[in-house]
Amino acid sequence: MTDETPRETFEHDPIGHAEARAGMTVGELADEYGNAGIGASAIHEAVDVYAEMLGDDDVTNFFGLAGAMVPTGMRRIVADLIRDGHIDALVTTGANLTHDAIEAIGGKHHHGEVHAEGKTEREHDERLRDEGVDRIYNVYLPQEHFALFEGHLRDEVFPALEAECEAEGAVSIQRLTEELGRANAEVNDAEDIEEGAGVAAAAYEHDVPIYCPAVQDSVLGLQAWMYSQTSEFTLDALSDMTTITDQAFDAEKAGAMVVGGGVPKNYTLQTMLVAPDAYDYAVQLTMDSPETGGLSGATLDEARSWGKLEKAARNASVYADATITLPLVVAAARERIADGEGDR
């Protein structure tokens, strides 16, 4: 560089060295991440944006939840966000709702192994098949819990919806998730289940709609289809788009927390394409790379080009395992709100 060449893009903002000490809070740790680079600085920015989203009462908060987040232990985090008024609309998968209901009515997921000692992964999974155990990476689910789930749907959920279909025609997918939440809550309470009633129950109890646009792609969807073969029960796949679009249209300001990608991510973000404004805040937690052009890894800056985010929107993307990043971001953002620092 010569004296005549100005440094147009350089600002004197030196990297700091994060401190990790005994007794620090998760919020203090997130602040320390802000001194560092790469993923640490991304976590810090995500906390900053999410805390501002949650701390502003004028923001309508949309939450997209994809991936195996419920069976891997993230269920209570999402349910508590709903109970505390931090989620106004939840968009998720039929799989997450299936596993949520299984826990609500007495089933459990268990720690497992990717492969057993002395066996290949294939040999291990062949043994699990013989034992009647389904594997989600290093989480096990005994298959008998799916029979429990089927009975729950047929006894507690589908009959009321069938009666509505007989009287009025098809019901919306959101109406299915609402009825699932009601049934989960009632069975959980009546049978004094040790585990909490979960995500769908919290949404039902707090009038938070759950949208599940790809419900067919799940055991819940399979059970709904099978029940429809011998009854008047059927789902209207398009009607939910009216209610979620109304929420977006009526929002003074809007924020999106997107965990994972796929349908929940796109369904959450595309809502703003038919609203007068776009998201003012957005955070995504994903492990998918943007270079493939797939939606799951696409940056939120790219979403801005589609008009899904406002040009001036605050947004952050964190590329890491969401079972690590979601608890950290939520806890740190909650700490800021409790300290009165969220809306700043």
Count of beta carbons in the 10 Å neighbourhood of residue 218: 18
Report yes or no: 197 and 184 within 8 Å, Cβ to Cβ.
yes
Report yes or no: 238 and 43 within 8 Å, Cβ to Cβ.
no
Rounded to whole angstroms, how far apart are CA atoms 244 and 255? Answer: 14
Write down the residue that tokens 């979601």 correspond to.
Answer: 326
Report yes or no: 333 and 77 within 8 Å, Cβ to Cβ.
no
308 is catalytic: yes
Q: Which helix (H) or strand (E) holds 220?
A: helix 219-228
Task: Name residue 235's beta-bridge partners.
Answer: 171
Rounded to whole angstroms, how far apart are CA atoms 248 and 89? Answer: 10
**Residue 191, Cβ density class (10 Å: 0-12 exposed, 13-18 middle, ≥19 buried):** exposed
Rounded to whole angstroms, how far apart are CA atoms 31 and 225? Answer: 48
Rounded to whole angstroms, how far apart are CA atoms 155 and 186? Answer: 12
CA proximity to 260, closest of 229, 283, 291, 227: 283
Q: Which amino acid is at 111?
A: H
CA proximity to 95, closest of 213, 227, 215, 177: 215
Q: Are strands 133-136 and 59-65 parallel, antiparallel or unpaired?
A: unpaired
Q: Are strands 89-92 and 210-211 parallel, antiparallel or unpaired?
A: parallel
Rounded to whole angstroms, how far apart are CA atoms 92 and 251? Answer: 20
Residues 6+ apart with CB under 8 A from 343: 52, 55, 56, 57
Q: Which residue in 108, 265, 308, 311 is the catalytic one?
A: 308
Question: What residues act catalytically?
Answer: 308
